[in-house]
Amino acid sequence: MNISLQHKKALVGGSSSGIGKAIAQQLAASGASVTLMSHSEEKLQQIVNSLPTDQNQHHQYLAVDFNNFKDYQKIITKYFKNNSVDILVNNTQGPPAGSTIEKQVNDYQEAFDLLFKTVVFTTELALKSMTENNWGRIINVASVSVKEPISYLALSNSIRAAVVTWAKSLAVEVGKHNITVNSVLTGYFDTDRITQLNLKKTKQLGVEPSQIRKDMELSVAVKRIGKPEEYGFLVAFLASDNAAYITGTNIPIDGGLLKSL
């Protein structure tokens, strides 16, 4: 199956590293023009320069801070005054780890701004041109924790669940415009985020990071941690015409980590 995204324009959040970077690379490899978004301008510039390019592609980046919603709002609004996108990948860094007992109400508000408000606001702006063009793809990077909550990720569990529920509602409303809306439920992937979370567990449990990683691998059906490029393959498919009849779904990519149906 050939996945071609030629003449399509994509906006990918959190794309200076990890899963977001892998998504941007695969979309570009499939022919899309990609705008990257993250806080590290130096990393973004390096990645833009490394993306595959032909005469029909133009890659660029936006330096944004997803943790500062007011500033993010200004930057993304200005971007959409001069740009439109066909493919929107909603992705940000995760909120701080911690249990429900450790977190206060202000922590939930900050996580809501980071994970929910940025997604909804960006999507509202992107939908204008998608509706006019009668074609669009909205893909949300979520987590398996919306189905099976992870005890030390209380903020992510709660707010990402709101995102996937909102996405399901949106899919019903925009489907008539040939716009699909899907959420990807992320399992264990070899990223800086996993490394940081494992270091915190190391301090809490008093075990070696290698043991924590081994335990994670054993909990997955395929007995390994996912590669970010594997995530990119799925998103490129969902962004293509081949996935035109897939919408309103929550698709786990977890190597068989989830035990529920």
Side chain identity, residue 197: L
pLDDT at 246 exceeding the cut of 80: yes
pLDDT digits (tens, 9 = 90+) for 139-194: 999 999 999 999 889 999 999 999 999 999 999 999 999 999 999 999 999 998 88
Residue 98: predicted pLDDT? 92
Side chain identity, residue 116: F
Residue 201: predicted pLDDT? 78
pLDDT class for 58, splitting at 50, 70, 90? very high
pLDDT at 28 exceeding the cut of 90: yes
How many Å apart are CA 178 and CA 180, to the nearest integer? 6
User: Is 85 domain-assigned?
Assistant: yes
Beta strands 179-186 and 250-253 are parallel
Give pTM, 2 decimals. 0.96
User: Residue 120, class by beta-carbon neighbours within 10 Å (0-12 exposed, 13-18 middle, 19+ buried)?
Assistant: middle
CA distances from 234 to 82, 88, 241 (A): 29, 14, 13
Interacting residues of 190 by C-beta distance below 8 A, sequence separation 6+: 225, 226, 227, 228
User: Is 68 domain-assigned?
Assistant: yes
Q: CATH number for the domain including 108?
A: 3.40.50.720
User: Is 34 domain-assigned?
Assistant: yes
pLDDT digits (tens, 9 = 90+) for 81-134: 999 999 999 999 999 999 999 999 999 999 999 999 999 999 999 999 999 999
Print the domain residue range for 116.
Answer: 9-188+228-253
pLDDT at 253 exceeding the cut of 90: yes
User: Is 110 domain-assigned?
Assistant: yes
Domain count for the chain, please give it: 1
Contact at 8 Å (CB) between 20 and 88? Answer: no
Rounded to the nearest 5°, which phi and psi values hold at 104? -105, 170
User: Is 170 domain-assigned?
Assistant: yes
Rounded to the nearest 5°, which phi and psi values hold at 63? -90, 115
Side chain identity, residue 14: G
